[in-house]
Structure 1
């Protein structure tokens, strides 16, 4: 069993935030928020495995970040809800990077449908990615971290939907993110004896390719059945005078993954511009 988490009180800031020599995996890292997270981890010195359902995006992101920051970048396609695919990706990280120190469960789905009209398949797919995917990724990472004996950090992208409901039609998404937030707590208890910290980061809405596409799809669905498209004023609850950016969230993930946050496990950090106040 790894030694207890060290006391790093005497370490300089530059050492606490550095990820040099660490190996990070980011799911859904080919674009948007996942790519922004991967970029900050690479800038801090971590070698990367980027997992994405779109292999071309994953490879392009890995190549770009490797060239920009001088770290090793590897990419693979995987469906995070598929046990064998996630296990194979974790094995790839071990074989190509030498191990896993940081695993970020970022891949997610954000469909929208009224509860009375939501098909079973939509509910199942959202939970498969947003909840099951978090468990499968965490388990695969923790098994390899434990075998390595170095411990590590798992960071789960939750959402403010893990705390509240922003508008109607979010039943599957809200439920899946509450599940992921609860899983973060439970995994923190199970994995602490192995030297593994588990944290969540809960962003408010940030404009990314995936979020914009989801918003357009929800609007099209409402229009198709003659319903009024809900106007969601995401700025009305911002306390910082602007929308968040993917990098705003990526910096919080970097904090969680680094030794700056060594005292923290089981928490979900609200990166929400005060939206949930």
Structure 2
């Protein structure tokens, strides 16, 4: 029988992280590599993805590559999977993390803005999960982790973001549906729902500084989460330890949604 430490190791696993060049994706990729996995940093910003891949490879000694892809393009996603499988030698775990938010009142949201958010946050998740799922079903199974948000469970305030909230709720229901379809095919599908996280992009935004104080005042822990505080759940869901976990949503939000 293997020990818990052995089951949490990711040695030999091939993993990709979309939106992995910065923010939460970068932090999760770092943690996954530290646990022994080879990583593909997938991002629309190739140069930034290359910088991140180099940084993680140097700090962990793992094989880390950069792949450019528009996850809203079926052709790009298919090419992405083929590139990752060729360069890493397979695909065991998929972290579909790319996303965006536009804060506008619903009455002022243009249809183009609505489509942009839904296209990346929901269609992009479907396309990448579908492509990864097809490969995994044909090659003995795997684990898919889709990034949702606590915004799938609550309506954030004071910022208006109906399109984002709707898209993230869709991610959870989509993931549960895929988990049921693929349960007997060896493919697990789960979601992570982070709360407010202190990424560099968030902390350095002048527009968000007034909101950060409000968020922290309302948070039970009176602070935002640190990106590295998602690494534990990322490693768990990528590892063999989580072999019975599928169709679940893991809220990592410092009890923000527990009010």
Report the TM-score range of the alignment, normalised by the length of the smaller protein. over 0.9
Q: Is the 8 A contact 1:111 1:218 kept in 2?
A: no
1:127 corresponds to 2:118: yes
1:160 corresponds to 2:150: yes
Partner of 1:103: 94
Q: What are the superposed Cα offsets for residues 194-248 of structure 1, whole Å, 9 maximum, x if unpaired?
A: 10111101000112244457x64579xxxxxxxxx86762123433343210010
Pick which of 253-262 and 118-127 moved more: 253-262
Partner of 1:207: 198
Partner of 1:253: 234
Q: Number of residues paired by the alignment?
A: 257
Deviation, structure 1 residue 257: 1.5
Cα RMSD of the aligned pairs, angstroms, is 1.7
Identify unmatched segments of 5+ residues in structure 1: 1-9, 220-228
Deviation, structure 1 residue 159: 0.5
Compared CA separation, residues 136 and 211, structure 1 to 2 (3 A): farther
Compared CA separation, residues 106 and 210, structure 1 to 2 (3 A): farther
Q: What are the superposed Cα offsets for residues 60-116 of structure 1, whole Å, 9 maximum, x if unpaired?
A: 111111121111111111111111111111111110111110100111001100000
- What does 1:255-270 correspond to in 2, within 5 Å? 255-270=236-251
Q: What are the superposed Cα offsets for residues 17-54 of structure 1, whole Å, 9 maximum, x if unpaired?
A: 10000000000000111000000110111101110111
Match of 2:179 among 188, 192, 201: 188
Q: SS in structure 1 opposite 2:145?
A: strand
Compared CA separation, residues 106 and 49, structure 1 to 2 (3 A): same
Identify unmatched segments of 5+ residues in structure 2: none
State the TM-score, normalizing by the size of structure 1. Answer: 0.88
Q: Is the 8 A contact 1:110 1:211 kept in 2?
A: no
State the TM-score, normalizing by the size of structure 2. Answer: 0.94
1:52 corresponds to 2:43: yes
Partner of 2:167: 176
- What does 1:58-97 correspond to in 2, within 5 Å? 58-97=49-88
User: Which structure would you say has the larger Rg?
Assistant: 1
